[in-house]
Every structure is written in C-alpha cells, then in structure tokens.
Chain A
Amino acid sequence: MVNSSRVPNALCCCEYIDKDGRRNHILACCCNCVELDKAFDSFCCCRRGGHPGCDRVILAMLDRMRVPWLGGAKLISCDILLPMLLLPSLFAFGAINFPCTVVAFLSMLLLVLQLHRTYFRSIPNSKFFCTWTYTSFALIFLIYEFLVVPFLEITIQENLIFIVVSIMSILSLYKVQTLRNSQASFLNDVEKGDSSLLNSKASNTCSVCTTYMTPRMVHCSTCQKCVPKRELHCLWFGCCIGSHNLFWFIICLVSLSVSLLYSSNLILTTVCRPYQVVGSLLLPEDCSEVYYEFRFALCFVSGLYSLMMSVLSVFALLRQCWLVSLGITGNEWRTMPLSHLLRFGITAHRPYSHGLLKNWYYVLTRQNVYSK
C-alpha cells in the first residue's frame, strides 16, 4: 500500500507545500504561525531586531494567501491581487458623490504612475498592469450586464453589438499575447529567396540571446527576448509588440476603442438624461441626478472610466497608425532627435519606408519585408 501523504503530487485542491517544504492546508491559514509567535515574543520581551521578525511574518502571510486549485492550492501574487481589490474599491468610493469621483480618478492616475515607476525598477515583468486591464474590462462588463441592462432601456440589438465587439477585442488581445516571435518565420523568409539578408551588414547576433538578429530587431529587456521590428513593450497587454503581432495589436486597439466607447455611451445614456443627435445616436446630456442613488452612481463612474480608457486606447491607436504610415517602428520613433519629433517625424530619415500605401499593405497582409 502506498502512503499517499508521501506522494508530492497527490495534493488535494486545498493543500499545498509551503515555503519550508511542509504540507499545509488552506483552512489552516490562520493557525499555528511560528513566525508570528516569535515576533510577538520578541515584542513582549522588548528584544531588539523586531523588524526582521516582522518581515518574516509578512512573508509567511504572503505564502499562505492561496486559492484552491487542481493539484494543490496556488499562490496568489500580490501584483495580481492588488488591481482586483483596488479597482472595485475605487469605483465604490467614486460612487459616493462627485468630489469623490474626482478624487478616485485622480488617485487612480497617481497610483498607476507611482506603481509604474516602482514596478519597472523592481519587478519589470510584473503582471500588475495586465491584470489591471483584465480587471477593468471585467468590471465594466459586469456592471453593464448586471446593473445597466436591468434598467430595461437597452435593446437586444445594442447588446449584441457590444458583446460582439467585446469578444473581438478579447480574442485579438489573446492573439497579441500568444503570438510568439519565432525565429522560424524569419528563417523561412530567408529560404524563400531573400538571402541578401544573411549577408547584409546590419545583421549581427544579440549579445543576450546569442541568436541571429535581423536588421530591425531589438532586444527587449522586460521580455528577455529579441523582438523583430519592436514597437514597444505594452505594459497593459503584458507583452512586446513587434512585426509578429502588430496586425493583431492594431485590430485589438480598434475593437477595444469601439467597445469601450460604445459601452460608455450605453451606460451614460442609461443613467443620465440623453438627447438625440442624429438618427438613433444618443448622447448623455444631464447627469446631475446620478448621485441620488448608489446604483446609478456606480454605473456612472464605470461609464466615465470606460470613456477614459477608450480615449487612451484611441490615442494609442492613432499613434500606431501614424507610425505605420511613416514606416518607422516605435523604437525608432523614441530614438529620433527632437528636431524631427517636433515635425511629427515626417522629415526623419526613414530607410525602411515603402510609402504610405505599401506600408499599410505589408502590415495588413502581415508580410515581413526586411529590406527596401
């Protein structure tokens, strides 16, 4: 007979192996904390060196924060949990009254900026921003479906449009994140006859990856990878954007802008007094009655947030469209001298541009063209 407790992978979904290598259970998360006992002891006896004890307690606490999972409870990392708690509480705070909404949005902005700085320094590949994106999207969707739709003011066709565009943006986001910049595709292109690439002067090897580098390939320190035609490392999507996923990145930005703008319009025209512009297009007109009820206010705050996100998304889309039209990558844009930047890069030397239409053609047909 096999003693099941000795088999490491026979954990039930609520059990886990803790940092000391012992088997533990989620339900015991508040029991028997040696670190806390020690810290409390040293505190009572006024012993010096309370700080490392305190740190150990926090470490033990973090180790015990787990969710049940198949094959053993999983650790929840702090940077995933933070946006999931922060965003809903900021929404709820913003729904109190108008000054609170302003404070909530301002603090959200400052917080993101501050976290951006600290995270970039300490944990560059943190999942914080990616989780933030998912959480906001889920929150807007849930508030729309469970608070706004029950007002019975939205038609089934409008709901259909919103859901289709949302699914499109989710799928394209998934595509952006999962498409790998494979070296294979590059070598394929070489085999197809573009053999001049191998001999060109610009090609060399990356010092970190020790792989072969194509002309416009840039090493991303966050992804620890070489990215062909690197545009930027998108924190919010949690991945690098290069020629391998630029097409899906643009599709994602388009559908994201549309769905966010549409949801904000649906939410705000439902909770505010709308007026008709042309045809069936409604715009919110008077939102002064929103704060009388928490439910209305919560919808209003999420509508505003959705609007804000869509503005950011539209801005990113326009920027990307401009870069594609110019035929330069985000990386090249950032290294451009100021004198060219002030003229929006039109005057810059663009060795890889094929002209406006061709640039777009190559992006939309997802062709990799390495040289002119």
Chain B
Amino acid sequence: MVILHTKFAGFTRTLLVAFLIFVVVVFLFHPGRFAASYDFIDKSDIFRHLVTVPPPENITKPLCPMISYSKNSSHGSYLLDLNFKESEISSGGRWEPANCIAQHKIALIIPYRNRKKHLSTFIDYIHGFLQSQFIEYSIYVVEQSPKLAFNRGLLFNIGYTWALQQEQIPCFIFHDVDLLPESLENIYACTDMPRHMSSSVNTFRYNLPYGTLFGGVVAMLQAQFQMINGFPNRYFGWGGEDDDLFMRVINKGMSIARFAPDISRYYMLPHIKESSTAENTQQLQYVSDYQDRDGLNDYIRYCSVIKDKLFPLYTLITADLQLPVGYEKLNQ
C-alpha cells in the first residue's frame, strides 16, 4: 500500500513537472509574442501582379522599363543616392518621363503636420526615387490645421478626393512622411490587391510586428479605395485607423498583398514615439457596422475649409477640421 502510494506520488510529480515545462515552452514559443512571418508575392511574379495603365493607341514613344537597376545601390542597406532635376518637375509636384510612356500613374498622398524637416527630406528623396522607376506621379501633401488632434485617415480622404478632382488617377499611394523606401525594386504602383508596402521598417528590426498591420505605406487602386469607402474619419489621435482600414479591406472580400521583406524595406526618420490612444483601439470591433457610413462619403462633415497651394515640388492642401454634430455619440 505504501509502495503504491509513493509510486503514485512520484508519478503525479513527474506529471506536474511535465505540465509545467509544457506551459513554459508554449509561453516561450507562442507565435503571437513574436514578429509575424507573412506571405508575399514572389520576386518573379511581381510584374504579373502589377496593374499597369493601358498605353495610348498611337504610340510615339517606347514604353518605359519598370526599373533602372543601374541606380540600385549594391549594399542594399540604407538610403539610395538619388538625384533629380527640379526644372523637369511641373508646379505642384507632377512629373512624367520625357522619353518614354509611363506604365504606372500614381498620386502620392501624404498627411502632414509640424514636421518641416521630415517633409523636406522626404520630398527631396521621393522625387528621385519615383523618377528612377519611370512612374508618372503627382504629390499631394495634406496638412491639418493645429486645432484638433491629428487625424491621419481623414487627411487621406481629403487628399484622395482633391487629387481625383484634378485628374483621373488609377492608383493611389497613402504614405507616411517619415518613411523612406530603401530598395528600388519596391515599385511604387498598385497590385491587383491592396498592398501594404512598408512591411519591413528599420525601427521594427526590419520585421513585421503583426500580420494585420496595414499602416505606414499603402497602395490601392482607385476603384478599391472607393469600394471600401476610404479611410475611417473618426480616429483623432495616434493609431487605430490603419487596423480599421485592414478590416475594411477584409470586409469587402479582398485580401492584402506584400512584397518580399528585402524589397519592402523602409528607413524611418527619427522622432519620438507616441503611444496609441486607448480610446482608438476600442472601436475596432464595430468596423463592419459603420464602414458604409464613416469614410469617403462622410468626410466633408469634418471639414470647414480646404485650400490648396502649388509648390514647386508638391501640392499642399490645407484642411481646417471640426468635430461634426454628434461626434461624441460615436465614441459611446
């Protein structure tokens, strides 16, 4: 009896230790605690997935190549050494290749406030970058007046609508001002699915923190952006709107695409990190309820005055924001 008892106790102890080790191992290697690994479009498949502008019927010039590899830096790290001629750029930050027909036409929308240094660095860099890719582009910087907290999603909606009023643009790239692309292979054009372009940022150790991250730099076809009703307008403060955008894309039956990690590398200009506003992350669960009410069709309620001004290297859109009637109810 005693022998049986001690045997049983020993067995229980072994079981307990095994269970403990199991729990610790599961905790230590739980995938949710680590940077995500993600599916991406294979390098050889990229051109198949890119959506090009149909060339005009009477071609006088050859089609542009997709990329000029000669300018690609050899070490692959850090920023590229690019330059451009300011005289070739038309007022408002428009450019198209002179000797060939561009296969991609994009509008770059950049929300902005109070970061003069970042903006000038970014603009100087991105012109050379886009010209090396022979992309026809126009740059819109959307600045928010200092009254309310920064609203990134709303500024994107304003920039999108404003750019579309000027000309027909098939592809939009929504770009943060502090991110600089490191690889010329990261083509600034739209793929058949909405594309998360900045999946490998230096401040995240060139890893993707979580699979549903859809912020930083996003490329989307105009039709797709219209379909998901644009960005949400309700997120004042930092964070929330990018996760919301991801849910909007998923809700409409689409998925997101990415390029390989070594292509989608970005360098983030240094600034102090801000923490996400608690209130913003709570709204996520209701995305499908308000997706069709809050977005492109609704943003005008948040705006009092919108002006634009043409600078040599970009178009600046200044927006005066206001809280619409009943905004407080949204957060309840």
Residues on A lying within 8 angstroms of B by beta carbon are: 145, 149-156, 159-160, 163, 269-270, 273-277, 282, 286, 288-289, 292-293
CB atoms of A286 and B270 under 8 A apart = yes
Contact with A along B66-90 (1 / 0, CB 8 A): 0000000000111000000000000
Residue picked from A151, A160, A276, A277, most chain B C-beta under 10 Å: A276
Q: How far is the CB of A346 from chain B (nearest CB, A)?
A: 41
User: Nearest chain-B residue to A150 (Cβ)?
Assistant: B33
What are 19 contact pairs spanning A and B, CB under 8 A? A145-B28, A151-B209, A152-B36, A152-B209, A153-B204, A154-B34, A156-B29, A159-B29, A159-B34, A163-B28, A270-B205, A274-B206, A275-B78, A275-B202, A276-B78, A277-B77, A282-B205, A292-B272, A293-B273
A153 to B35, CA, bound (A): 5
A150 to B34, CA, bound (A): 7
CB atoms of A155 and B270 under 8 A apart = no
A273 and B35 in contact (CB under 8 A), knowing A152-B210, A153-B207, A156-B29? no
CB < 8 Å neighbour of B270 from A150, A151, A160, A289: A289
- Which A residues are in CB contact (< 8 Å) with B76? 276
Q: How far is the CB of B55 from chain A (nearest CB, A)?
A: 38
- Which B residues are in CB contact (< 8 Å) with A269? 205
How many residues of B are counted as interface, with CB atoms below 8 angstroms from the partner's CB atoms? Answer: 23
- Which B residues are in CB contact (< 8 Å) with A274? 202-203, 205-206
CB atoms of A149 and B33 under 8 A apart = yes
Q: How far is the CB of A26 from chain B (nearest CB, A)?
A: 25
A159 to B36, CA, bound (A): 13
Q: 8 new A-B pairs (CB below 8 Å) besides A153-B35, A154-B207?
A: A151-B209, A152-B35, A156-B31, A273-B202, A275-B77, A276-B202, A282-B205, A282-B206
Residues on B lying within 8 angstroms of A by beta carbon are: 28-29, 31, 33-37, 76-78, 202-207, 209-210, 268, 270, 272-273
A216 to B187, CA, bound (A): 70
A145 to B30, CA, bound (A): 12
CB atoms of B207 and A155 under 8 A apart = yes
CB < 8 Å neighbour of B34 from A149, A163, A277, A288: A149
A289 to B202, CA, bound (A): 15
Q: How far is the CB of A147 from chain B (nearest CB, A)?
A: 12
Q: How far is the CB of A352 from chain B (nearest CB, A)?
A: 44
Q: How far is the CB of B270 from chain A (nearest CB, A)?
A: 6
CB < 8 Å neighbour of A289 from B36, B205, B273: B273
A153 and B205 in contact (CB under 8 A), knowing A275-B77, A289-B270? yes
- Which B residues are in CB contact (< 8 Å) with A155? 34-35, 37, 207
A276 to B78, CA, bound (A): 8
- Which A residues are in CB contact (< 8 Å) with B272? 289, 292
CB < 8 Å neighbour of A292 from B33, B206, B273: B273
Q: How far is the CB of B294 from chain A (nearest CB, A)?
A: 28
- Which B residues are in CB contact (< 8 Å) with A292? 272-273
Q: How far is the CB of A198 from chain B (nearest CB, A)?
A: 45
CB atoms of A273 and B270 under 8 A apart = yes
A276 to B77, CA, bound (A): 6
Q: How far is the CB of A160 from chain B (nearest CB, A)?
A: 7
Residue picked from B34, B268, B272, most chain A C-beta under 10 Å: B34
User: Nearest chain-B residue to A160 (Cβ)?
Assistant: B29
CB atoms of B203 and A273 under 8 A apart = yes
A151 to B208, CA, bound (A): 11
Q: How far is the CB of B226 from chain A (nearest CB, A)?
A: 32
A292 to B37, CA, bound (A): 30
Q: How far is the CB of A321 from chain B (nearest CB, A)?
A: 32
- Which A residues are in CB contact (< 8 Å) with B270? 273, 286, 288-289
- Which B residues are in CB contact (< 8 Å) with A156? 29, 31, 34-35, 37
A69 to B166, CA, bound (A): 78
- Which A residues are in CB contact (< 8 Å) with B268? 273
A235 to B270, CA, bound (A): 44
A101 to B34, CA, bound (A): 29
Q: How far is the CB of A207 from chain B (nearest CB, A)?
A: 46
User: Nearest chain-B residue to A277 (Cβ)?
Assistant: B77
A293 to B275, CA, bound (A): 10
- Which A residues are in CB contact (< 8 Å) with B210? 152
- Which B residues are in CB contact (< 8 Å) with A270? 205
A286 to B271, CA, bound (A): 11
Q: How far is the CB of A190 from chain B (nearest CB, A)?
A: 40
CB < 8 Å neighbour of B205 from A150, A154, A159, A286: A154
User: Nearest chain-B residue to A162 (Cβ)?
Assistant: B28
A156 to B210, CA, bound (A): 13
A221 to B77, CA, bound (A): 56
- Which B residues are in CB contact (< 8 Å) with A151? 209
User: Nearest chain-A residue to B204 (Cβ)?
Assistant: A153
Q: How far is the CB of A45 from chain B (nearest CB, A)?
A: 56
User: Nearest chain-A residue to B203 (Cβ)?
Assistant: A273
- Which A residues are in CB contact (< 8 Å) with B36? 152
User: Nearest chain-A residue to B213 (Cβ)?
Assistant: A152
- Which A residues are in CB contact (< 8 Å) with B35? 152-156
User: Nearest chain-B residue to A285 (Cβ)?
Assistant: B202
Q: How far is the CB of B172 from chain A (nearest CB, A)?
A: 28
CB atoms of B206 and A276 under 8 A apart = yes
Q: How far is the CB of A268 from chain B (nearest CB, A)?
A: 11
A288 to B271, CA, bound (A): 10
A145 to B78, CA, bound (A): 29
Q: How far is the CB of B258 from chain A (nearest CB, A)?
A: 16
Q: How far is the CB of B12 from chain A (nearest CB, A)?
A: 15
Q: How far is the CB of B141 from chain A (nearest CB, A)?
A: 25
- Which A residues are in CB contact (< 8 Å) with B33? 149-150, 152
- Which A residues are in CB contact (< 8 Å) with B205? 153-154, 269-270, 274, 282
Q: How far is the CB of A171 from chain B (nearest CB, A)?
A: 14
A154 to B206, CA, bound (A): 10
- Which B residues are in CB contact (< 8 Å) with A149? 33-34
A261 to B78, CA, bound (A): 24
A155 to B210, CA, bound (A): 11
